[in-house]
Chain A
Amino acid sequence: MFKNLRGIFSNDLSIDLGTANTLIYARGKGIVLNEPSVVAIREEPGRAGKRIEAVGQEAKNMLGRTPGHITAIRPMKDGVIADFTVTEKMLQYFIEKVHGNRLIRPSPRVLICVPYGSTQVERRAIQESAEGAGARWVRLIEEPMAAAVGAGLPVHEARGSMVLDIGGGTSEVAVISLNGIVYAASVRIGGDRFDDAIINYVRRNYGILIGEATAEKIKIEIGSAYPGQQVKEISVKGRNLSEGVPRSFTLNSNEILEALQEPLAGIVGAVKVALEQTPPELGADVAERGIVLTGGGALLRDIDKLLMEETGLPVVVSEDPLTCVARGGGRMLELIDEHGPALFNLE
């Protein structure tokens, strides 16, 4: 009853609860929040409890730089909840931040995007943490569908459209036709695996240890998926494992390309399997129109070229790929309001 009353003062939200970033799309307002899914927790020795020190960007800046009594953690791993309570607190923080109203605790309707491959237990955990965060109505939608709607694919047509969403924790490839998913697969490879690959590469070849934040910076600045004409360089600092002191060194884009080969091969493999499994009629449609890339991974330089060479199909990067899933979820919220909940396969 009170949740419904509070709901009058709340917006409808579509949340892309990602491993790397959480995006919130408020109905009628657009993307209102885009923050890293990181929470910093302070251990309080006097009391039994833990306290949230920071959430989002502020907490991300603390990653790997915290003293003993503060831990900066990422409560989502591989697209699913790794720490239930912290995820709930994070969601609550984000929902309240979006509303910016301290007087009435918000109780919005929420549509959350979950990876296609997530299990029932994992979905249940996400749903419950959203309810715990104050949402009065929670529905889950599979990420590839939201990504396709957000990218503006003609999902309702009797024509196959293929979307590849490369997120922080998972990559999802799906063939969609007539408002439904015909084939989808999820691999637990994403931006985080790219970072790990860079860390491992640097340790193996230089004997230097770098942190996650540095690895991500390297990936964003010089990372590429396909050999290009120009070679870029970046100077970074890390701890030399044998000497034990920080050292500065230079990496170039070809080295990073080499480092990323393994995770990229995993994604290409998933796309190839998807093409194999797609019914022939829809496969022909995909071959004509091509694959649409969404998600933060689509921003990796020349990843479209790599997929184009590997599959022999045209590959298109969508507009603003980072926000595609959240925008798609928001669009679906509007459609559900207009046409009823039977429209999409909601949970």
Chain B
Amino acid sequence: MSEAMTLTPASHDTDVTPGELLKRAREEAALTLQEVADELRLDLWMLEAIEANRFQALGAPVYARGYLRTYATHLGVPVDEVLRRYEALEDLPQEPEPIPAAMATTLRERRRSLRGPLLAMLALVVVAGLVYLALDVFLFASKTEDANAGTAGGAVEHNASNETQLPLVQPVSAVASVNDSHDAHTTEVDALLAQATDVNVPSSEMTGASPMTSSGPAPVEARLEFTGESWVEIYDATGARLLFGMGTPARARTVSGTPPLQVILGAASAVRLQVNGQPVVIPRREGREATRFTIEADGTLR
């Protein structure tokens, strides 16, 4: 009776292995291994392995657990109890890895070869992005430059001359500060005003002056008087558009920019041109109204 008590599965004797538990239950039921094997359609060696706790021999865990469960159910031993004891064992069969090692290496190589083009494409995308950004910044900058020059050239000529002559401010103001004892700021403003009003007249005289031209070409001023309608386009050396539009009769436009200035006239006979205050003859081809010429830094036309 005492033996039967120890056999009861409810006993929390964790030392009892699942194999021993099942073996005792089988012996208690007076069944031979062969009888159980026939009943469960298992091979005799499998049952022996279970009772000896050699679960490795049974292969994948799904089989080991499955056979244990079938065996326990057949003997009327609580399945959970047996499985709990099974889990507590040390050397259990390993969960099968569906990929054998040899196969894994060849496949891994194949995968690596795929990674190359992917990386290359990623790099390409990054480079393209950078180029686009650079272009964007450059274009934006040149656009704003364009806009500045356009408004200045089209509307207020003096502003344009101020802006383009800004490099000149330094030496002039230096001279002014020597002459005048005002603070630097007002001197600079005075100098700017002086330039805006009368700097162009002497600028024709200093065409040959080397100290000025060495720092950069002096701007040229072109004054166009219209006797009739004519299309006009004028661009300076930086590519800025100084004038672009239809000239109407009895109107004059004055522009100035970094030489050489590119000029396109639709009807040359309807335009009188002064460069740096000196009237010049517009070069024309026989029988053609439209003309295209360049105003050089020294005021000559080509």
Contacts and interface: CB of A to CB of B under 8 A. Distances in A.
23 contacts: A154-B96, A156-B97, A156-B98, A157-B96, A288-B43, A289-B59, A289-B63, A290-B42, A292-B66, A308-B40, A313-B41, A315-B70, A316-B62, A316-B63, A316-B66, A318-B66, A335-B98, A335-B99, A339-B103, A340-B108, A340-B114, A342-B107, A343-B99
Contacts of A317: 66, 69
A153 interface: yes
B285 interface: no
Contacts of A292: 62-63, 66
A303 to B, nearest CB: 13
Interface string B76-115: 0000000000000000000111111001100110110010
Given A290-B41, A319-B62, A343-B99, 4 more contacts: A154-B60, A288-B43, A340-B111, A343-B107
- For the complex of A and B, the 8 pairs showing the least CB-CB separation, nearest first, are A316-B66, A154-B96, A340-B111, A339-B107, A152-B62, A340-B107, A314-B41, A154-B60
B65 interface: yes
B69 A339 contact: no
Interface of A: 149, 151-157, 179, 288-290, 292, 304, 308, 312-319, 331-332, 335, 338-340, 342-343
Contacts, number: 82
B40 A318 contact: no
Given A149-B98, A152-B95, A312 B107 contact: no
B231 interface: no
B61 interface: yes
B67 A314 contact: yes
Contacts of B41: 290, 308, 312-315
A308 B40 CA distance: 8
Interface string B176-201: 00000000000000000000000000
Interface of B: 40-43, 59-63, 65-67, 69-70, 95-100, 103-104, 107-108, 110-111, 114
Contacts of B100: 156
Nearest to A340: B111
Contacts of B40: 308, 314
Given A149-B98, A152-B60, A156-B98, A340 B110 contact: yes
B110 A151 contact: no
B66 A153 contact: no
B63 A155 contact: no
A153 B60 contact: yes
A179 B98 contact: yes
A313 B302 CA distance: 107
A292 B104 CA distance: 26
Contacts of B104: 338-339
Contacts of A338: 99, 104, 108
Nearest to A151: B62
Nearest to B66: A316
B70 A342 contact: no
Contacts of B69: 316-317
Contacts of B59: 154, 289
B29 to A, nearest CB: 15
Contacts of B42: 290, 314
Contacts of A154: 59-60, 96
